[in-house]
Amino acid sequence: MIARIKARTLVVIQSLMDWMEERTGIVSMTEHFLYEPVPSKGRWLYTLGSSTLFLIVLQFLTGILLLFYYVPSTDEAWDSIYYIMTEAYFGQLIRGIHFWSANILVVVIGLHMMRTFFSGAYKAPREMNWVVGVVLILLVTVLAFSGYALRWDQEGFWAWEVGLKIGSYTPFIGEYAATFLLGGDTAGPATLSRVFVIHVWLLPALLAPLIGVHLYLLRRHGEFGSEFEYSKRLAELRERQQIEEYALYEEGEGSLEEDDGTSRG
């Protein structure tokens, strides 16, 4: 009885998934997105990319929440953060997650890069994904640094000033870059506005599609060589499933076609 209910439930779920798959392709898309074969040796190291993605998503979510209170003006920036930390419910938690996950993100993304380098996962045909990854790490670094200045406290201000001075030493364009980031020749309201735009709009807008490209290239080429290619693994998986289904049918323990007439090819 229980076996029969179980089989029926499975059939219903399966037919639902088939229905969705036929119309949206969501099942194969999810499968394609979630599963990536990796070598069993050191497999935990292959979670660093997912961890990075998770932390970036966390940054986006907590960042949006902080924007409900943060005021990007030289007179109110620090006060608004003080309000978040002392008055707003769960303010410390939200900002704490934003702050610490940003710090951890920089470390994790560095480890992810190191793993990619030492495991040789940057080699052909994955060079472009390495390049995209390098651009992503630069974007994340600038994001972390610009977030520092948004606090407009002593620590953030002086860190920004030092960073800006380093940038001003860039040959040919340093002077212009400094003026551009300052919004003039001194730090003031325009500076904070520009840092805000860079941190909240410009860099996330560049980051999100590049993460998409990074993931697409990962799916396209897989994490490793041909023995781990996704399409091959998927074909083998499908073949195995068909053999198993056929074996079940042969044994007469529950043919899918007999139960409800649905066919899974």
**Binding positions for another protein, rule: CB under 8 A:** 73-75, 158, 161-162, 164-166, 168, 175-176, 178-180, 182-191, 193
Centre a 10 Å sphere on the Cβ of residue 235 and count the other Cβ atoms it contains: 11
Query: What minimum distance in Å lies between the beta carbon of 182 and another protein?
Result: 7
The residue (of 38 and 190) whose beta carbon lies closer to another protein is 190
Q: Which long-range contacts link 111-117 to residues 24+ away (Cβ below 8 Å)?
A: 111/48, 112/48, 112/49, 112/51, 112/52, 113/137, 115/45, 115/46, 115/48
Choice between 125 and 188, CB closer to another protein: 188
- Smallest separation (angstroms) from another protein to the CB of 76: 10
Strand runs (DSSP E) across 2-98, as ranges?
none
To another protein, the closest distance from the beta carbon of 205 in angstroms equals 14
Nearer to another protein, 185 or 250 (CB): 185
Phi and psi angles of residue 184, each rounded to the nearest 5 degrees, phi first: 155, -150
From the CB of 174, what's the least distance to another protein, in Å?
A: 10
Residue type for position 115: R
Which of 91/156 has CB closer to another protein?
156
Q: How far is the CB of 30 from another protein (least distance, A)?
A: 38
- Sole residue written with tokens 């969501």: 26
Shortest CB 159 distance to another protein, Å: 10
Query: Nearer to another protein by C-beta: 113 or 195?
Result: 195
* Closest C-alpha to 198, from 158, 164, 171: 164
Q: Name the nearest CA neighbour of 34 among 50, 14, 13.
A: 50
SS3 36: coil
Kindly tell me which of 204 and 254 has the beta carbon lying closer to another protein.
Answer: 204
3-state DSSP: the chain helix, strand, coil percent, rounded to 5?
Answer: 80, 0, 20
Residue 6 DSSP label? H
Q: How far is the C-alpha of 175 from the C-alpha of 246, rounded, in Å?
A: 72
CA 236/CA 249 separation, integer angstroms: 20
- Comparison of 52 and 191: residue with beta carbon closer to another protein: 191
Q: Least distance to another protein from the beta carbon of 25, Å? A: 33
